[in-house]
């Protein structure tokens, strides 16, 4: 699979959202939508009004990253607004398997996201049930944080487990991703790169997106 670049709309210009949407439509591969509830993570971002505003003009796939407790309550609604990839946090669910199944039952790709302090060994038993994992390279909650270097090893470990078992699970990385670390992340096994600040705070977002591609 070609490496996909997913700009995080958390760093978009909300006063001129169309401009940020255009950048993704023209130069990137998917919309990364960070939904935070102020409970699982210490920040509140946006919810359905923003996702619904983007949906009819999105020419690229919508990938929603739910940083919320009780994500199972909202799965159907995200599928109805046109989200194609949906991830829930390991820390938010007691048992990941049923919820991953629920996400798939609505025709979406199911992802399991997890923070840097979750040992990868906890995630490996669920790889078989995931269409993708979302490896956090910062603590979920805020854009613009510094990339955590241990992420490279964590991705390698997950990639190895996927390959050894021939699972069909993709690897998405999220947090502090930029052209400086993108290539090494791809070498380690990342298939999808989420980047917020690096793209939207740049003078030339198109050039930043191009520079992250292999």
CB atoms within 10 A of CB 165: 11
Q: Residue from 7, 21, 34, 100 that binds Zn ion (CB under 5 A)?
A: 34
User: Which of these ranges, 94-102, 122-130, 138-146, 203-211, lies near ligand DX5 under the rule CB under 6 A?
Assistant: 138-146
Q: Does 205 bind ligand DX5 (CB under 6 A)?
A: no
Q: What is the distance between the alpha carbons of residues 67 and 134, in angstroms, rounded to a whole number?
A: 12
Strand 85-89 to 61-67 pairing = parallel
Closest-CA residue to 27 (of 213, 210, 211): 210
Q: What is the nearest approach in angstroms of ligand DX5 to the Cβ of residue 200? A: 8
Shorter beta-carbon distance to ligand DX5: residue 88 or 177: 177
Enumerate residues 121-180 that contact Zn ion by CB under 5 A: 174
Q: What is the nearest approach in angstroms of ligand DX5 to the Cβ of residue 181? A: 11
Q: Residue from 96, 141, 189, 205 that binds ligand DX5 (CB under 6 A)?
A: 141
Site string for ligand DX5, 96-135 (x = CB under 6 A): ----------------------------------------
CA dihedral 209→187→151→191, nearest 10 degrees, is 60
List all residues 6 or more positions away from 95 whose beta carbon is below 8 Å from its beta carbon. Answer: none
Q: Residue from 66, 93, 195, 208 that binds ligand DX5 (CB under 6 A)?
A: 195
Cβ burial 197-207 (10 Å sphere, 16+ → b, else e): bbbbebeebee
13 is catalytic: no
Question: From the candidates 22, 29, 34, 117, which is the catalytic residue?
Answer: 34
Rounded to whole angstroms, what are the CA distances from 205 to 17, 22, 58, 186, 194?
14, 11, 17, 20, 13
User: Contact at 8 Å (CB) between 91 and 113?
Assistant: no
Cβ burial 180-196 (10 Å sphere, 16+ → b, else e): ebbeebbebbbbbbbbb
Q: Does 63 bind Zn ion (CB under 5 A)?
A: no
Q: What is the nearest approach in angstroms of ligand DX5 to the Cβ of residue 67? A: 6
Shorter beta-carbon distance to ligand DX5: residue 124 or 148: 148
Question: Where along the sequence are the contacts to Zn ion (CB under 5 A)?
Answer: 34, 65, 174
Active site residues: 34, 174
Question: Where along the sequence are the contacts to ligand DX5 (CB under 6 A)?
Answer: 8, 10-11, 32, 34, 65, 138, 140-145, 174-177, 194-198
């Amino acid at each position: 699979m070609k490496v996909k670049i997913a700009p995080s709309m958390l760093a978009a210009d909300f006063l001129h959202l169309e401009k940020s949407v255009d950048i993704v439509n023209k130069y990137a591969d998917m919309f990364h939508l960070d939904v935070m509830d102020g409970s699982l993570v210490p920040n509140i971002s946006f919810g359905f009004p923003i996702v619904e505003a983007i949906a009819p003009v999105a020419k690229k796939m919508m990938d929603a990253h739910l940083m919320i407790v009780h994500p199972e309550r909202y799965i159907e609604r995200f599928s109805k607004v046109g989200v194609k990839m949906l991830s829930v946090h390991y820390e938010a669910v007691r048992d990941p398997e049923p919820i991953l199944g629920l996400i798939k039952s609505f025709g979406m790709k199911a992802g399991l996201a997890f923070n840097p302090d979750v040992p990868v060994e906890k995630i490996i038993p669920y790889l078989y049930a995931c269409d993708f994992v979302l490896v956090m390279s910062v603590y979920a909650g805020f854009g613009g944080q510094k990339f955590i270097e241990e992420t490279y090893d964590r991705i390698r470990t997950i990639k190895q487990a996927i390959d050894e078992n021939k699972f069909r699970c993709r690897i998405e990385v999220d947090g502090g991703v930029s052209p400086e670390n993108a290539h090494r992340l791809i070498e380690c096994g990342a298939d999808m790169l989420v980047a917020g600040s690096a793209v939207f705070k740049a003078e030339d977002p198109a050039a930043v997106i191009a520079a992250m591609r292999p």
